[in-house]
Structure 1
Amino acid sequence: MTQRTEPTGTRLQNALWRHLLCWVGVCLLSGCAPYQLGNTALFPQNIRTVHVPIIRNATFREDLGVRLTEAVIKEIELRTPYKATADPLADTVLRCEVVNETKRVLTENDADYVRALDAAIQVRASWSDRQGRLLMKNSIVPTDDLTILFSQDERFVPEAGQSIDTATQKAIEDLANRIVSQMEARW
């Protein structure tokens, strides 16, 4: 009994055709819905650009608005498929305002020296398209307010070498992350 062998090139071609047919079958059986992968699936697809004006600051710490603007733009560029732009005619506009900034004493030692403090920042934000429709909605507590209030606290201990500036910067970064997270599409 003789065994017939195929040339190596023919075997490779047959294997490639089998893999191609398997992929076509998987694509046909996977349904009609256009599934998306990655972070672009989390955000509305009809938006390409976001205008982030300099964030207004109603507190006495004059640099908070500029620092938060930089952090929000950085988060948008890193986590979303959108392009942050200076053009006020962008597809959407993200407006924010720092409404409050506080520092609270948490603990003191026996001699009344401060041991731990909290730095807190509150920001109002709204995201709308060119027609003025709100894109960011408070899904937890629906209100008639057009903005969402974000609040972030960061603890710092001066005895350990931590400062109000490092705590404030961490709070700003966390706020930017939370604001951009609210830009995700709702299921």
Structure 2
Amino acid sequence: MRSIYIGLETRFAVRMAFACLWIAVSGCAGYQLGNQSLYRNDVRTVYVPVIRNDSFREDLGVRLTEAVQKAIEQRTPFKVTGDPTADSVLTCRVIGDSKQVLTETNTDEPRAIDNAIAIQASWINRQGSVLMENRILPAGQLAFYFRQSSRMVPEAGQTSATAFQEVIDDLANQIVNQMQVRW
């Protein structure tokens, strides 16, 4: 008689475990794990043309294009493509850059310099809908404005090239952050 109860208890425990597992799995079926849930699922490819540069530093557009493409490939599920007929197009334009001396020595040599780049960016799908979402963007606007600066200390061995590269990398990350879907 005792072995019948043990058999019933074991079968009941197995059935309860299976039922709990089924409820847990089916309850989470709509959720996505990882960074896939942060980005749009209707976009798979992104075309990033060479960024137009309206500043006097001629290499900023090319360097920023490379940084944006690399950030998209590394941080998003999207594939960067060279095909203009991709699912979406991310167009950017450098609208200005500046270099300002913050402090200087007694002999007028710069001790700290602020480097800044301002860009305009828009992400549009094939149908012409704006894909970047931001609550600050006024109605009717298609482009976002980003500005990033970096402090450079020449006495510490920093150069304008390294300071601007830091700004470029930060701008690329800001752009990719705006590609995330808002909660």
Equivalent residue for 1:142, pick from 138, 144, 169 = 138
Q: Say whether residues 1:161 and 2:157 are aligned partners.
A: yes
1:22 is displaced (CA, Å) by 2.9
Higher helix share: 2
Contact between 1:51 and 1:87, CA under 8 Å: does it hold in 2? yes
Cα RMSD over matched residues? 2.6
Which amino acid is the alignment partner of residue 39 of structure 2? F
Aligned residue number for residue 178 of structure 2: 182
Q: Name the CA distance, whole Å, in 1 between partners of 2:137 and 2:68.
A: 23
Kindly provide the CA deviation profile for residues 1-52 of structure 1, in whole angstroms up to 9, marking residues without a partner as x: x989x9xxxx9x9998765443212234x37x71111111011111110010
Which runs of no fewer than 5 residues in structure 2 stay unpaired?
A: none
Equivalent residue, structure 2, for 1:88: 84
Alignment TM-score, normalising by the size of structure 2: 0.88
User: Could you say if the C-alpha distance between residues 26 and 168 of structure 1 is closer, same or farther in structure 2, counting changes exceeding 3 Å?
Assistant: same
1:112 aligns with 2:103: no
Contact 1:137 1:148 (8 Å CA) reproduced:
no
Identity of aligned residues (%): 52
Which residue does the alignment assign to 1:63? Answer: 59
| SS of alignment partner, residue 95 of structure 2 | strand
- Runs of 4+ off more than 6 Å: 13-18
TM-aligned CA distance change 1:16 to 1:98, over 3 Å:
farther
Unmatched 5+ stretches in structure 1:
none
- For residues 84 and 16 of structure 1, what CA distance do their matches in structure 2 show? 48
Of residues 97, 104, 128, the one that matches 2:124 is 128
Question: Would the alpha carbon gap of residues 37 and 70 (structure 1) be closer, same or farther in structure 2, given more than 3 Å must change?
Answer: same
* Cα distance change on mapping 1:103 and 1:23 into 2, 3 Å: same
Query: CA 1:144–1:3 in 2, change beyond 3 Å: closer, same or farther?
Result: closer
Which amino acid in structure 2 is aligned with residue 51 of structure 1? Answer: Y
